[in-house]
Amino acid sequence: MIILKSEDEIKRIADACRIVAEALESVKKIVAPGITTIELNRFVESFIVSKKATPAFKGYKGYPASLCTSINEQVIHGIPSFSKLKEGDIISLDVGVFYKGFYGDAATTLPVGKTVDRAVKLLSVTEGALYRGIENAVVGNRLFDISFAIQSHVEAEGFSVVRNFVGHGIGRELHEEPQIPNFGRPGEGLELMEGMTLAIEPMVNAGGWEVDVLSDGWTAVTKDRSLSAHFEHTVALTSGGPKTLTKL
């Protein structure tokens, strides 16, 4: 069931999203060679708690951390550890917050120091695909207009969109309907309506789209072990166009 949000509810979702955005901006500043992902997790968890909010991911279906840290070929749901980041890595940081009854969710992927040109291009294309998707999150469009905008941008640049994982609705629950694939045919899917709040999140691989899930039950990796990037924003659909709630 699609849950349409009132103007007041969107404002409350935006409050949670602001904490997500501030957490991501803050943790970006300490990403560097030599830091461990468990340190990044502790930083984000402390930041969220300092805002009198709750980390959305910790304990969600058994996930053990407040931050998803996915490195290089890891697509999503990487679990923080004591392994140190290395020069040339790329890392996806995915943050969720629960605040006063509502959720916010966003992700970004960063280079660790200086990295190779193909990784830089992968990050740029994936972020660009996110904004192509958001541009099509317009009242009256169809759901797969978002999907097609992401897919066509990515594939034109020689990369591939992950098909096993999708974006989602968000609000009083972290994951609500509808699911938002990053591939699809334009003009298909349900009609987009004012009051929808969506977490749009392209996951893009430098190689093939196929993924495996590691033995920890969480960490998804590219099957061919090529690099992967992940960008995400929570967006509200309004009569005046899409409003990105997790952007400062």
Residue 204's pLDDT band (boundaries 50, 70, 90)? very high
pLDDT digits over 176-200, tens only? 999 999 999 999 999 999 999 999 9
Q: What is the pLDDT of residue 181?
A: 98
Taking each helix axis from N to C terminus, what angle separates 117-135 and 143-156, rounded to the nearest 10 degrees? 160
Average pLDDT, the chain: 98
Q: Architecture of 7-244 per CATH?
A: Alpha-Beta Complex (3.90)
With a pLDDT cut of 70, the percent of the chain lying above it is: 100
Q: What is the pLDDT of residue 96?
A: 98
Strand stretches in 54-190, DSSP E: 54-55, 67-71, 74-76, 90-99, 102-111, 160-161, 167-169, 176-180
Query: Is the pTM here over 0.85, yes or no?
Result: yes
pLDDT digits over 125-134, tens only? 999 999 999 9
Residue 136's pLDDT band (boundaries 50, 70, 90)? very high
Q: What is the pLDDT of residue 77?
A: 98
Residue 167's pLDDT band (boundaries 50, 70, 90)? very high
Taking each helix axis from N to C terminus, what angle separates 37-50 and 7-28, rounded to the nearest 10 degrees? 140
pLDDT digits over 13-22, tens only? 999 999 999 9
Alpha carbons 106 and 39: distance in angstroms, whole number:
19
Residue 235's pLDDT band (boundaries 50, 70, 90)? very high
